[in-house]
Chain A
């Protein structure tokens, strides 16, 4: 009536071993890069990739679920911190994330923000030190680049929907190219 010992061992060690293997594989997965591999000197460089996307990391995955994952370099770190602290009401929607994911995303966005490492980006021009824009389209820089060039009604066109939809006009925005207008 007894199951041979060897079979019992096989049965009871198989599952834990598989689990251990899985955990090991997960543990060996590369961590999402905190610093984007980007060349900010190219910023605004005409035909170049003006604002590198947050490619291949958790930011890209999570932030692109509802909208284009905007480049970290479009806002100062204080803006990203405020946005990430307010995900429960993210422009009228609940966009909450688990704590660990939210922290990884915040770390990435602040480390690559327009003012990261004391950098000064043209994105910051016209922005007071205490201004905390929550929308890229609220920055003086964004307004300068769009006002007078794009009819306000264009943003209400059903094919565009909102100012949040960069790719409606900048077809390769999600690849980091905006200088196509």
Chain B
């Protein structure tokens, strides 16, 4: 019996490590909880990424202004600096650091939309860039 419990505890620990080792999923789970949803839509994320928005700063009406129409390619900041491609398939580190992710959503949603993005928009955005 003791042995069984030991293995149960060991298994639970390994599972916890496995979950913790997918920080992107943790970020998505957090947004899902905030948005009160169970799934995100890559299609909605794509539409959001490509759409011209209003309400933001005039020089940056869309995500594509700097990131480019095809996020698999490099983008360019208004100051001329190269932006690394966005998809998870190109850069596996994308959307794994919650502080980094929130920092850039905070900045860029204000710059492009003039407001914060909703948790649903953030989740769809990550879903889109995880689907390419």
Contacts and interface: CB of A to CB of B under 8 A. Distances in A.
Interface residues of B, number: 22
B18 interface: no
Interface in B35-54: none
Interface in A30-72: 64, 66-68
Contacts of A66: 77-79, 81
Given A3-B9, A11-B9, A92 B59 contact: yes
Interface stretch (B26-34, B89-97, B103-111, B119-127): B103-111
Contact of A92 (B1, B2, B60, B80): B60
A160 interface: yes
A4 interface: yes
Interface in A129-181: 160-162, 164-165, 167-168
Interface in B1-20: 1-2, 5-6, 9, 13
A161 B111 contact: no
B5 A161 contact: no
Contact of B5 (A3, A88, A89, A165): A3
A3 B60 CA distance: 60
A84 to B, nearest CB: 15
A125 interface: no
Interface of B: 1-2, 5-6, 9, 13, 57-60, 76-81, 103, 106-108, 110-111
A121 to B, nearest CB: 23
Contacts of B5: 1, 3
A117 interface: no
A164 B57 contact: no
A94 B110 contact: yes
10 contacts: A7-B6, A92-B59, A92-B78, A92-B111, A93-B57, A93-B78, A94-B106, A160-B80, A164-B80, A165-B80
10 A-B pairs with least C-beta separation? A165-B80, A67-B79, A161-B80, A94-B110, A164-B79, A66-B77, A94-B107, A93-B111, A92-B59, A94-B111
